[in-house]
């Protein structure tokens, strides 16, 4: 007589056990997938952040070129003669904050400069309600380029970039050494609508801008010349 093995009886308990095991496996897979997704997302965010940081930390040279080439307002000033030697002039070019500390310098009501190191500065011009920051971005023989970003909160709130080029030529005559200093200013606005408005009203804005630049360059001239005269006196030169 043949004997047959009994087929194992599948009970509800067995089914529940199998379903539970499958559920656990699915949960494990889901957890691993979620962790992998989060890692990928974190890596993607980190990459984007690095790229954004790289863009933010992009060399000012490109921004300078863009501001000059696409400037909304550009002012080309006539050379200003300063009775000074190279050493004194270049001291103030490379230590702008001294313009507020020297004899005949700017007062806190006119100009506030905060030296932050490595050629970086914070700036406030209280009468014009202007605040911002700038840096000595490029230094060449007989030339310095400052690049900054700021905002004004007058009757019209706006923000933008500025490039200030200071070029100078050292000369000598019977009275001694002096420098012809030329200042060029380029302005760009962050808001295209404000930029368009500035272009339309440039016949009014340009004279005002020229007046402001002339005021600051004239005061700078007084500070530099006073420092040079003091230096000559200390050295006993006529």
Three-state secondary structure readout of 168-226:
EEEEEECCEEEEEEEEEEEEEECCHHHHHHHHHCHHHHHHHHHHHHHHHHHHHHHHHHH
Give the number of other Cβ atoms within 10 Å of residue 78's Cβ.
Answer: 9
The pLDDT of residue 233 is 86
Q: Give the Cα separation of 18 and 107 in Å (integer).
A: 84
The pLDDT of residue 156 is 67
In the numeric block, the tokens 């993607």 are attached to 44
DSSP code for 79? P
Neighbouring-strand partners of residue 188: 161
pLDDT digits (tens, 9 = 90+) for 104-117: 889 889 999 999 99
In the numeric block, the tokens 């200093």 are attached to 181
For residue 236, give the 3-state DSSP assignment. Answer: coil
Give me the tens of pLDDT residue by residue for the chain, a chain 238 residues long. Answer: 444 444 445 555 554 444 444 444 444 434 444 444 445 445 555 544 544 444 455 567 888 999 999 999 999 999 999 999 999 999 999 999 999 998 788 988 999 999 999 999 999 999 889 999 999 999 999 999 999 999 998 756 889 999 999 999 999 999 899 999 999 999 999 999 999 999 999 999 899 999 999 999 999 999 999 999 999 888 766 5
Long-range contacts of 208-213 (CB under 8 A, 24+ apart): 209/73, 209/75, 209/185, 210/75, 210/77, 212/128, 213/75, 213/77, 213/183, 213/185
Task: Give the CA-trace dihedral at 211, 216, 222, 223, to 10 degrees.
Answer: 180
Each domain of the chain, given as residue ranges in start order, spans 71-235
The pLDDT of residue 49 is 55
Mention every residue, 6+ apart, whose C-beta is less than 8 A from residue 94. 119, 136, 139, 144
The pLDDT of residue 103 is 78
Q: What does DSSP say about strands 120-125 and 130-140: parallel, antiparallel, or unpaired?
A: antiparallel
Rounded percentage of the chain residues whose pLDDT exceeds 70: 73
Neighbouring-strand partners of residue 178: 171
Q: Give the Cα separation of 190 and 149 in Å (integer).
A: 10
Fold of 71-235: Alpha-D-Glucose-1,6-Bisphosphate; Chain A, domain 4 (3.30.530)
């Amino acid at each position: 007589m043949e004997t047959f093995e009994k087929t194992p009886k599948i009970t509800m308990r067995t089914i529940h056990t199998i379903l539970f095991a499958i559920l656990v496996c699915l949960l494990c897979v889901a957890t691993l997938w979620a962790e992998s997704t989060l890692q990928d997302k974190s890596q993607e965010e980190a990459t984007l952040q690095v790229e954004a940081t790289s863009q933010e930390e992009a060399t000012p040279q490109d921004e300078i070129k863009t501001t000059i080439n696409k400037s909304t307002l550009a002012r080309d000033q006539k050379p200003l003669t300063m009775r000074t030697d190279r050493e004194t002039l270049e001291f103030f070019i490379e230590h702008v904050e001294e313009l507020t500390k020297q004899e005949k310098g700017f007062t806190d009501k006119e100009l506030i400069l905060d030296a932050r190191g490595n050629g970086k500065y914070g700036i406030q011009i209280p009468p014009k309600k202007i605040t911002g920051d700038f840096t000595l971005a490029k230094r060449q023989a007989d030339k310095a380029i400052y690049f900054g970003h700021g905002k004004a909160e007058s009757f019209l709130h706006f923000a933008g970039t500025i490039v200030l080029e200071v070029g100078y030529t050292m000369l000598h005559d019977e009275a001694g050494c002096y420098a012809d200093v030329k200042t060029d200013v380029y302005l760009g606005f962050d808001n295209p609508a404000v930029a368009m408005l500035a272009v339309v009203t440039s016949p009014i804005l340009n004279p005002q801008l020229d007046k402001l630049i002339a005021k600051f360059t004239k005061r700078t001239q007084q500070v530099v010349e006073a420092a040079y005269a003091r230096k000559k006196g200390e050295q006993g030169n006529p």
